[in-house]
Chain A
Amino acid sequence: MDPISKLGSSFIAPLVQQAGFGMWLSGRTLALIPHCLKRRRSLLDQMYLTGFKSAHVVAFVAFFIGMIVALQIGLKLAQYGQQDSIGMLVAISMAREMGPFVTAVVLAASVSSAMAAELGTMKVQDELTALEVLSIDSVSYLVLPRVIALTLMAPILTAVADVVGILGGGVIAVTQLQVDFPAYLLSVDEVLRDPGLFGLPQDLYAGLIKSAVFGFTIAIVGCGSGMLAEKGASGVAQTTREAVRTSIILIILFNYFLSWALVA
């Protein structure tokens, strides 16, 4: 094979196939949303598994991110005697950007890989074929509860990340910048008051919408990669790796476009 057709068949063709499958799976999942009632048990199980079991990691990372943001910006602000507005800046960074992003990366690394491994194992052990033969729709049975659970849990985890990150920033404000805590909170409060749609603060809901999209994407990539797993010893391992990589790339791409759309 010449280099160009090799590039085409070994790199571009699978990419197009995966993207096409991801879009089909997204559409099919959305179309099956009415099945959520019937699937409420596994939906709740998945919300518990993906949500509560990731919460401590999200909180830990968000706390440090909040401190880092406060340090980086705060020391600069202090040079100009503006450290009183540190609360506002930390709150905006967390709510708009860092909260959703940090949550999404943690979920991509833990949940997307777990879903890919779980469905990939089912694929290579003929369990998905067995479902098909039993006339059970694997999108309704397996994918829908996972995707909807993560779409609902991601914004909740993001809200946790926002709060913990702002507290982390507060620690820096008090200990390094000599801003007292009530003043810090007052400054935080200023941004989060700025009303937007649904009476929610604009900066907050922009971040929460983003994180719902991230949650949906991460779960679709995890489930989709698993369903496309190849048989053989390394099939599931490879699928798991690809799921993490693909979800992080998509999060970054979607983050750019959504930030753009939600600012405008």
Chain B
Amino acid sequence: MIELRDVRKAFGRQQVLDGLDLTVEAGSSYAVMGPSGSGKSVLLKHVIGLLKPDSGRVLVAGHSVPELHREELRDLRRDMGYLFQHGALINWLSVFDNIALPLRETTAMGEEEVRGRVEKVLGQVQLSGTDDKYPSEISGGMQKRVGLARALVTEPSVILYDEPEAGLDPGMSQAISELMRQIQTELEMTSLVVTHSDRCARIVADRLGIFEKGRFLVEGTPAEVLDSDHPRVREFLGPKRS
């Protein structure tokens, strides 16, 4: 379970998180939508302990993230996956080695088992056969999928996605969303997804929150929120689709 209570965070004079509350039930999937530059990535970085709140509580699986020591945080993160907005692949490692990296570095897994796991996730993100390519040789969308594969390969129980569908064409975006949903339900992962796409939110999420000015404006099931008549929500999402 992910729980944030009254979290505040400012950079200089800019109040990015302003009394934010969020609950993601264990094994469920929560999507966050909001204007760009509003602090959605900052929110994810608090959950994985890259940023500390100025005040408020951040809990993941019962651990207070900002208070964890280095080693404890490391242990917690072994059970978490994070997909970066731009993939953040290690540029001098091949696709295969990028995905194998967390297994080789933080587990005692043999090379045989590593290969099996990597091939499996590569298949899931529809990238079989690109093992030997380097990040600079593949498209942005493919980099994103490799990033997704790297986040999934350790089979974490909590996973955070920063705009997983950005830069993908609509077909691929739908496929990735369905894949995220399938893996999330199969492995009973707790997932928090920042997205710009209402289609992605509908496929992926059990609950959806619209984020604005440092806190959530409305929350509910994706259908409730996306079809709501709340004026600020309509302003952000545009007119209802029939």
B77 touches A129 (CB 8 A): no
Closest to A118 in B: B92
Interchain CA distance A134-B49 in the complex, whole Å: 12
Query: Out of A121, A122, A129, which one reaches B84, CB within 8 Å?
Result: A129
Query: Out of A125, A135, A141, which one reaches B88, CB within 8 Å?
Result: A125
A131-189 with Cβ < 8 A to chain B = 131-136, 141
A133 touches B91 (CB 8 A): no
B68 at the interface (CB under 8 A from A): no
Query: Out of B78, B85, B150, which one reaches A135, CB within 8 Å?
Result: B78
Contact mask A115-128 → B, CB, 8 Å, 1/0? 00000011001110
Q: What count of chain A residues pass the 8 Å CB interface test?
A: 14
Query: Out of B75, B77, B91, B105, which one reaches A121, CB within 8 Å?
Result: B91
A30 at the interface (CB under 8 A from B): no
A252 at the interface (CB under 8 A from B): no
Interchain CA distance A87-B10 in the complex, whole Å: 67
Interchain CA distance A130-B102 in the complex, whole Å: 10
Complex contacts, B91 vs chain A, CB 8 Å: 121-122, 125, 127
A126 touches B88 (CB 8 A): yes
Most A-side CB within 10 Å, residue of B75, B78, B102: B102
B50 touches A133 (CB 8 A): yes
Closest to A133 in B: B82
Interchain CA distance A130-B77 in the complex, whole Å: 11
B61 at the interface (CB under 8 A from A): no
The number of residue pairs between A and B whose CB atoms lie closer than 8 Å in the complex comes to: 47
Interchain CA distance A25-B102 in the complex, whole Å: 23
B189 at the interface (CB under 8 A from A): no
- Majority-rule SS of A interface residues: helix
B78 touches A130 (CB 8 A): no
B48 at the interface (CB under 8 A from A): yes
A133 touches B48 (CB 8 A): yes
Interchain CA distance A130-B99 in the complex, whole Å: 12
Closest to A38 in B: B105
Complex contacts, A129 vs chain B, CB 8 Å: 50, 84, 88
Complex contacts, B48 vs chain A, CB 8 Å: 133
B199 at the interface (CB under 8 A from A): no
A130 touches B84 (CB 8 A): yes
Interchain CA distance A93-B74 in the complex, whole Å: 51
B89 touches A127 (CB 8 A): yes
Complex contacts, A122 vs chain B, CB 8 Å: 90-91
Q: How far is the CB of A118 from chain B (nearest CB, A)?
A: 8
Q: How far is the CB of A198 from chain B (nearest CB, A)?
A: 38
Complex contacts, A132 vs chain B, CB 8 Å: 50
Complex contacts, B74 vs chain A, CB 8 Å: 135
A130 touches B90 (CB 8 A): yes
B86 at the interface (CB under 8 A from A): yes
Complex contacts, A125 vs chain B, CB 8 Å: 86, 88, 91
Interchain CA distance A101-B198 in the complex, whole Å: 62
B242 at the interface (CB under 8 A from A): no
The 3 closest A-B pairs by CB, nearest first: A130-B88, A126-B88, A133-B82
Can you list 21 A-B pairs with a CB-CB distance of less than 8 A? A121-B91, A125-B86, A125-B88, A125-B91, A126-B84, A126-B85, A127-B88, A127-B90, A129-B50, A129-B88, A130-B84, A130-B88, A132-B50, A133-B77, A133-B80, A134-B101, A134-B150, A135-B74, A135-B77, A136-B105, A136-B106
